[in-house]
């Protein structure tokens, strides 16, 4: 099965799709080139602490952008060497406990070893105000890009990612991506890493390090150490805020992170991007030499590969399944809700069999849509209710299997008695809809407006209040054409009754410029 990485460049927009046998496996989009100074994940800054918030155990840090960066206590505290070694023991114990029994199932990202080291508390008793104060200059790295109205989230646990390994200058740790499952290979890689790293530093083998030689990993490590020394040299004469290191650009990160040994070719539709890709491949992906080609057909490259159709599906609330069923995906500030429906699918055997088939089909599409849309945070999936326990287990197991393709870390709880699955997915950047869409200006993003009848009754109540005060004056009502039409037709008897009861003269006028919920009422005094 041919696997291709397809890159499309249109002015300031870059798009990358990973395709296997005509099916899109992954999709990335970036428009940050329109914002040259956008704080991207991996960038390192010398920042200045603006405020320390003991009540939130966090701080705001000026890194040179309009919105200050957010720093949480666990990301701010750099532990001592003894604390780090104690943490390593706790991580091993945690992994053994999870292996024995756990209600939830965690599908790790390739750097779970790192994220666990950073996320678990070194000192539960430590307070941010004990080691950080306003005006301090600190080195931080972007962990999460700005999302909506929130500024970027930063960490003091600096990491430099290479093709095969990740280097940590402040954390002593040796780890191997949990996606490498062979105990023998994990032990081999750990042995290599132990021989490479100096005391007090950290190093993690990425998934693509599997099978790589000592020489390859040492070369990758040496390059990262050189980058870190360059960062330190830059900082010698600088004051905050200052950008000390800019990570790879979008195209380069995509090549580094989603191009694996199975990719057969890289297709590019821009000559300038092709030069950039050739240069990167030559330096970091020698196995891909000769596999980069320029797309020359008249049909746009994403249309040719069917990617544009998949993107349209990925920004729609409703996604249809091949059987005739569907899933509805609603993204809110609090969570993402997904509802599974049988739709037109009526099945061939029993109702239970129909429900099971629909849920199993939905599982694959849900995992795919979460990945393509880059949904993050809390996700609730409402499967169609299944009476049989073995059916619920089949759907849950299928979901875990489908999520293994996801590069982001996920944590999934079993299906509840109500047919609900609660899960989380690690979020590091904006969702696809936030990048490509904006809230509807008419409904202001709520997805609904008041009905014409509701607005008419509001107008009638306001008219009654106005004529009571105006003592028989003429009253003009300006409203949306649909509202005006109902007031002068279905509700005309009410209008006449108001005129008769209060001795007023009502004039209803339609105005195309008015919002459906907008109206104005004026009393003309004699």
**pLDDT tens-place string over residues 262-274:** 788 999 999 999 9
Q: How high is the pLDDT of residue 69?
A: 94
**Per-residue confidence band for 93, with pLDDT thresholds at 50, 70 and 90:** low
Residue that is written with structure tokens 């599974």 in the block: 340
Same domain, 201 and 98: yes
Domain end point (choices 290, 314, 338): 314
pLDDT exceeds cutoff 70 at 472:
no
Closest CA to 47 of 130, 149, 131, 136: 136
Contact 121, 74 (CB under 8 A): yes
Same domain, 158 and 302: no
Q: Is residue 447 part of a domain?
A: no
Contact 366, 328 (CB under 8 A): no
pLDDT exceeds cutoff 90 at 199:
no
The secondary structure of 333-384 as a DSSP string is: SS-EEEEEE-TT---SS-HHHHHHHHHHHHHHHHHHHHHHHT--EEEEEEPP
Same domain, 260 and 383: no
SS3 397: helix
Give the full edge-to-edge strand order of the sheet including 474-479.
505-510, 474-479, 519-524
What distance in Å separates the CA atoms of residue 409 and residue 218, rounded to the nearest whole number? 27
Q: How high is the pLDDT of residue 116?
A: 45
| Domain count of the fold of the chain | 4
Mean pLDDT of 111-139: 71
Tokens of 341: 């429906």
Mean pLDDT of 190-194: 92
**Per-residue confidence band for 58, with pLDDT thresholds at 50, 70 and 90:** very high
Mean pLDDT of 194-216: 88
pLDDT exceeds cutoff 60 at 36:
no
Mean pLDDT of 497-522: 91
Same domain, 285 and 236: no
Same domain, 366 and 496: no
**Phi and psi torsions of 10, nearest 5°:** -130, 100
Q: Is residue 466 part of a domain?
A: yes
Query: Helix, strand, coil % (nearest 5) of the chain?
Result: 35, 25, 40
Closest CA to 240 of 41, 40, 50: 50
- Where b means 16+ CB within 10 Å and e means fewer, 288-314 reads beebbeebeeeeebbeebebbebbebb
Which of 31-35, 60-64, 223-227, 279-283 is modeled with the greatest confidence?
60-64
Query: Between residues 155 and 21, which one has the greater pLDDT?
Result: 155
Same domain, 242 and 105: yes
Domain end point (choices 382, 406, 436): 436
Asked if residue 241 has a cis previous peptide bond (ω within 30° of 0), the answer is yes
What distance in Å separates the CA atoms of residue 353 and residue 391, rounded to the nearest whole number? 9
What distance in Å separates the CA atoms of residue 171 and residue 126, rounded to the nearest whole number? 18
| CA-CA-CA-CA dihedral for 6, 9, 13, 18, to nearest 10 | 0
What distance in Å separates the CA atoms of residue 16 and residue 367, rounded to the nearest whole number? 19
Mean pLDDT of 74-97: 72
Mean pLDDT of 239-252: 89
Contact 379, 229 (CB under 8 A): no
Q: Is residue 445 part of a domain?
A: no
Q: Distance between the two ends of the chain, CA-based, in angstroms?
A: 84
Closest CA to 225 of 275, 320, 158: 158
Q: Is residue 441 part of a domain?
A: no
Secondary structure element (H or E) that encloses residue 174, with its range: strand 173-176
What distance in Å separates the CA atoms of residue 117 and residue 350, rounded to the nearest whole number? 49
Residue that is written with structure tokens 């091949």 in the block: 322
Secondary structure element (H or E) that encloses residue 432, with its range: helix 432-436
Tokens of 303: 């249309």
How far, CA to CA in Å, does 202 sit from each of 176, 192, 223, 471? 11, 13, 15, 83
Q: What's the pLDDT tens digit per position in 61-77? A: 999 988 999 999 989 98
The secondary structure of 205-235 as a DSSP string is: E-GGGTT--HHHHHHHHHHHHHHHHHHHHHH
Q: Please give, one letter per residue, the 3-state secondary structure of 265-278.
A: EEEECCHHHHHHHH
Q: Is residue 87 part of a domain?
A: yes
What's 15's domain CATH number?
Answer: 3.30.420.60
pLDDT exceeds cutoff 50 at 117:
no
What's 477's domain CATH number?
Answer: 3.40.1260.20
Secondary structure element (H or E) that encloses residue 479, with its range: strand 474-479
What's 88's domain CATH number?
Answer: 2.40.50.140
Q: Is residue 22 part of a domain?
A: yes
Domain end point (choices 436, 463, 490): 436
Same domain, 375 and 490: no
Q: What residues have CB less than 8 Å from 219, skipping those under 6 apart?
A: none
Contact 222, 250 (CB under 8 A): no
Tokens of 361: 């089909």
What distance in Å separates the CA atoms of residue 239 and residue 230, rounded to the nearest whole number? 16
pLDDT exceeds cutoff 70 at 525:
no
Q: Is residue 444 part of a domain?
A: no
Same domain, 152 and 41: yes
**Phi and psi torsions of 46, nearest 5°:** -90, 115
**Triad 44, 48, 53: Cα angle to 5°:** 110
Mean pLDDT of 20-33: 82
How far, CA to CA in Å, does 179 sit from each of 132, 183, 349? 36, 11, 39
Tokens of 146: 């700005």
Q: What's the pLDDT tens digit per position in 440-461? A: 888 888 889 999 999 999 999 9
Same domain, 64 and 204: yes
Mean pLDDT of 2-29: 88
**Per-residue confidence band for 95, with pLDDT thresholds at 50, 70 and 90:** low
**Per-residue confidence band for 20, with pLDDT thresholds at 50, 70 and 90:** confident
What distance in Å separates the CA atoms of residue 463 and residue 457, rounded to the nearest whole number? 10
What distance in Å separates the CA atoms of residue 131 and residue 54, rounded to the nearest whole number? 12
Tokens of 504: 């007023």
How far, CA to CA in Å, does 461 sit from each of 192, 365, 495, 521? 79, 49, 11, 11
Which of 304-308, 424-428, 502-506 is modeled with the greatest confidence?
304-308
Same domain, 304 and 190: no
Q: What's the pLDDT tens digit per position in 334-376? A: 899 999 988 776 666 778 888 899 999 999 999 999 999 989 8
pLDDT exceeds cutoff 90 at 104:
no
Mean pLDDT computed over every residue of the chain:
86
Same domain, 59 and 116: yes
**Phi and psi torsions of 474, nearest 5°:** -75, 135
Q: Is residue 339 part of a domain?
A: yes
Mean pLDDT of 233-258: 88
Q: Which residue range forms the structural domain that includes residue 305?
A: 1-33+247-314
Same domain, 143 and 89: yes
Tokens of 223: 């390059």
């Amino acid at each position: 099965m041919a696997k291709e990485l397809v890159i499309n460049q249109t002015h300031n927009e870059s798009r990358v799709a990973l395709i296997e046998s005509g099916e899109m496996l992954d999709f990335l989009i970036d428009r940050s080139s329109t914002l040259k100074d956008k704080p991207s994940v991996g960038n390192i800054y010398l920042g200045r602490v603006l405020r320390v918030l003991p009540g939130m155990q966090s701080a705001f840090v000026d890194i040179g952008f309009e919105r200050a960066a957010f720093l949480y206590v666990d990301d701010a505290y750099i532990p001592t060497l003894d604390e780090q070694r104690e943490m390593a023991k706790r991580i091993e114990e945690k992994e053994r406990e999870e292996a024995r029994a756990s209600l939830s199932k965690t599908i790790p990202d390739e750097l779970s070893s790192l994220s666990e080291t950073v996320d678990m508390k070194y000192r539960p008793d430590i307070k941010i105000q004990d080691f950080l104060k306003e005006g301090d200059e600190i080195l931080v790295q972007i962990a999460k890009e700005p999302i909506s109205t929130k500024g970027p989230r930063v960490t003091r646990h600096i990491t430099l990612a290479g093709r095969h390994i990740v280097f940590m200058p402040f954390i002593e740790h040796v780890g191997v991506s949990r996606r490498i499952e062979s105990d023998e290979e994990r032990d081999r890689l750990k042995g290599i890493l132990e021989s490479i790293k100096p005391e007090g530093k950290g190093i993690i083998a990425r998934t693509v390090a599997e099978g790589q030689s000592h020489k390859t990993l040492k070369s990758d490590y040496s390059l990262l150490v050189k980058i870190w020394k360059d960062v330190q040299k830059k900082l010698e004469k600088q004051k905050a805020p200052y950008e000390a290191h800019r990570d790879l650009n979008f195209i380069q990160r995509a090549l580094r992170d989603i191009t694996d040994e199975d990719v057969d070719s890289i297709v590019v539709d821009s000559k300038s991007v092709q030069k950039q890709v050739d240069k990167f491949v030559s330096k970091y992906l020698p196995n891909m030499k000769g596999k980069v080609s320029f797309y020359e057909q008249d049909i746009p490259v994403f249309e040719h590969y069917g990617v544009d159709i998949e993107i349209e599906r990925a920004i729609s609330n409703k996604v249809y399944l091949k059987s005739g069923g569907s899933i509805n995906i609603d993204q809110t500030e609090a969570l993402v809700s997904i509802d599974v429906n049988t739709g037109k699918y009526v099945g061939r055997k029993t109702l239970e069999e129909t429900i099971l088939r629909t849920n199993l089909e939905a599982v694959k599409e849900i995992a795919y849509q979460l990945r393509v849309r880059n949904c993050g945070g809390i996700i609730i999936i409402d499967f169609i209710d299944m009476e049989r326990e073995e059916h619920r287990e089949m759907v849950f197991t299928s979901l875990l299997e489908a999520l293994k393709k996801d590069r982001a870390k996920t944590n999934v709880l079993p299906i509840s008695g109500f047919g609900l699955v609660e899960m989380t997915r690690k979020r590091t950047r904006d969702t696809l809809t936030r990048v490509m869409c904006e809230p509807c200006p008419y409904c202001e993003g709520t997805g609904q407006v008041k009905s014409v009848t509701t607005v008419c009754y509001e107008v009638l109540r306001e008219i009654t209040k106005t004529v009571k005060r105006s003592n028989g004056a003429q009253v003009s009502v300006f409203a949306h054409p649909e509202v005006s039409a109902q007031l002068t037709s279905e509700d005309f008897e009410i209008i006449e009754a108001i005129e008769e009861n209060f001795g007023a003269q009502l004039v209803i006028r339609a105005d195309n410029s008015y919002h459906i919920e907008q109206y104005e009422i004026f009393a003309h005094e004699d």
